[in-house]
Amino acid sequence: MDSTKVGLDDKPNKRIAIVFPGQGSQNVGMLTELSEEYPIITQTFTEASNALGFDLWEVCQDEQQLNQTEYTQPALLTASVALWRVLKDQVEQPVFMAGHSLGEFSALCASGAISLADAVVLVHKRGKLMQEAVANQETMMAAVLGLEDEQVLSLCEQIRELDEAASVNPANFNSPGQVVIAGNKTGVEQVVEQVKNNLGKKAIPLKVSVPSHCELMQPASEALQAELNRVKINEPLIPVIQNRHARVEKTMPNIKQALVEQLSNPVQWAKTIEELAAKQVELLIEVGSGNVLTNLTKRQKNVIPAYPTDRPERLQKLFEELS
């Protein structure tokens, strides 16, 4: 290993995992400060823009466009890959990668499984398919706080059984006591009402344009399979723990199938962190916009120190920790 890398001294090297955020972590002008110091960020956005046929960096300066799913996804993936290119020659080789929802595509791209050009085109299409799946429907997502996973699962089942018009499912098992639900407005509002009025817990509606990881995404999931069949996927150079079952898939068909099923099934993020802890990971580096995953890590059963990297001061703090 190159002795110029951060963290090489007389002490044993830390076991590092790289985690990539998903939708909701985007912000206008993300990575602008870092791009002034690291030209590879701008170069990465140019590479992605050439593949897409529109200026992705310009999209990141326009809040309305950036928050449309079909643009959010390639923008966030490119930001994550750009940051990884900044970091990869400065930190020890990670033992695992993982990504939350969309971040799983970033992880596969960073691990060498998918080219950046293919990945941004794929997630741009994925965003369109997600929007088309719920066109002309009123949909919602909400974060349920303070309940066990099984309680939320049972509550969603009860609402669906009582009201045929209701569609609602757990979408993200983020951490103990935090489950995001998704579905149509009828279903989600009924769960929110039950959580607040009958159980005395919090449920917070989320500002999203599509309800990810629920049964309403089944048409998009099926269409994504056809898109994936057109993309060359290699064996990852770094193992990627995928969302569907919180495990590393070993074969190309299984990697693709996990990506397809991920879209209409819940993200198993709490189990992913448990798996990393079980594999003796000692440090998480969040590579992408924001610090959502860093904050979630503090709420897990097994807390692994985590560091975001999207601003100069955050990157500096990471380097200080590693050295």
pLDDT digits (tens, 9 = 90+) for 158-176: 999 999 999 999 999 999 9
**Nearest in space to 92 (alpha carbons), one of 159, 33, 150, 6:** 6
Please give the average per-residue pLDDT across 116-133, as a whole number.
97
Strands 202-205 and 306-308: unpaired
Beta-carbon contacts of 75 under 8 Å, excluding residues fewer than 6 positions away, are 26, 30, 56, 59, 60, 66
Domain boundary among the residues 183, 208, 233 is at: 208
Share of the chain above pLDDT 70, in %: 96
Per-residue confidence band for 10, with pLDDT thresholds at 50, 70 and 90: very low
For the cut 60, the answer to whether the pLDDT of residue 9 exceeds it is no
Average pLDDT over residues 290-303: 94
Question: What was the pLDDT predicted at 5?
Answer: 54
**Is pLDDT above 80 for 3?**
no
Could you tell me if residue 188 is inside a domain?
Answer: yes
Check the CA dihedral 15-173-209-102 and report its sign. positive
Q: Is the pLDDT of residue 209 over 90?
A: no
Residue type present at position 297: T
Question: According to the model, what pLDDT value does residue 12 have?
Answer: 62
| Distance in angstroms (rounded) separating the CA atoms of residues 290 and 105 | 17
Specify the range with the lowest mean pLDDT, choosing from 208-212, 286-290, 310-314.
208-212
Phi, psi at 317, each rounded to 5°: -65, -40
Rounded to whole angstroms, the Cα distance separating 91 from 320 reads 12
One domain, residues 240 and 297: yes
Active site residues: 101, 213
pLDDT (0 to 100) of residue 207: 84
For residue 1, name the pLDDT band (cuts at 50, 70, 90). Answer: very low
Residue ranges making up the domain that contains 181: 139-208
Residue-level pLDDT at 208: 85
Verify that 234 and 312 share a domain, yes or no. yes
Name the H helices within the chain: 32-37, 39-52, 56-59, 63-66, 69-87, 103-110, 116-133, 149-162, 185-193, 218-228, 252-262, 269-278, 292-297, 312-322
Shared domain check, 316 and 267: yes
Nearest CA-CA partner of 217 in 130, 137, 136: 130
Which one-letter DSSP state was computed for residue 235? P
Q: What is the CATH number of the domain that holds 101?
A: 3.40.366.10
Asked if residue 191 and residue 149 are part of one domain, the reply reads yes
Please identify, among 160, 175, 208, the residue that sits at the C-terminal boundary of a domain. 208
Model confidence band, residue 4 (pLDDT cutoffs 50, 70, 90): very low
Residue 81 resides in a domain: yes
What pLDDT score was predicted for residue 11? 53
Task: Give, as one character, the DSSP assignment of residue 16.
Answer: E
Residues 79 and 82: their CA atoms lie apart, in Å, by 5
Cα 278 from Cα 315, distance rounded (Å): 26
Pair (74, 127) in one structural domain:
yes
Structure tokens at 184: 């149509």
Structural domains in the chain (count): 2
What pLDDT sits at residue 7? 45
* Dihedral Cα 285, 85, 275, 263, nearest 10 deg: 110
Single-letter amino acid, residue 48: A
Establish if 256 belongs to a structural domain: yes
Q: Which of 7-11, 112-116, 281-285 has the lowest mean pLDDT?
A: 7-11
Asked whether residue 8 is domain-assigned, the answer is: no
Same-domain check for residues 234 and 145: no
Per-residue tokens: 186: 């009828």
Confidence band, pLDDT 50/70/90 cuts, at residue 13: confident
Distance CA 118, CA 206 (A): 30
pLDDT of residue 65: 95
48-99 pLDDT per residue, tens: 999 999 999 999 999 999 999 999 999 999 999 999 999 999 999 999 999 9
- Please tell me whether residues 203 and 101 are part of one structural domain: no
Residues 29 and 122 in one domain: yes
- The more confident residue out of 13 and 217 is 217
- Residues 215-241 have a mean pLDDT of 95
Q: Tell me what pLDDT residue 189 has.
A: 97
279: enclosing H helix or E strand: none
Q: How much of the chain, in percent, has pLDDT values that exceed 90?
A: 92
Confidence of residue 243 (pLDDT cuts 50, 70, 90): very high
Give phi and psi for 275, each to the nearest 5: -65, -40
What amino acid is encoded at 207 in this protein? Answer: K
CATH code assigned at 191: 3.30.70.250
